[in-house]
Structure 1
Amino acid sequence: MAQRPLDLHKVNQIYDLFEGGAMISEIVTKVGTNRESVRKYLRQKYTPAQKRKIVKRNFKQLKGTSSPNWKGGKEITRVGYVRLWISKTERVMEHRLVMEQHLGRKLTKSEVVHHLNGDNADNRLENLRVTTFGEDIRLHNLERQSKAVS
Structure 2
Amino acid sequence: MNENIAKVIVLYNGIQTSTEIAKAVGLSPRYVRKIATRFDLDRLPVGARCGNENHSFVSGRRIDRDGYVMITVPGDHPYARPRPGRNGKLMLEHRMIMEQEIGRYLLPSEIVDHRDGLTLHNAPLNLRLFASNGDHLSKTTTGNSKLISKSGRQNIGIRSDRGKEYQPVDIYLRRRKRGDVRLRQILLAALSLGIDSPYLLGTSHHLKKAQIVLSSRSTIEHALAELDQRWVLDLAQ
- The two structures have a TM-score, normalised by structure 2, of 0.31
Which structure's CA Rg is the greater one? 1
- The two structures have a TM-score, normalised by structure 1, of 0.46
Higher share of residues assigned strand:
1
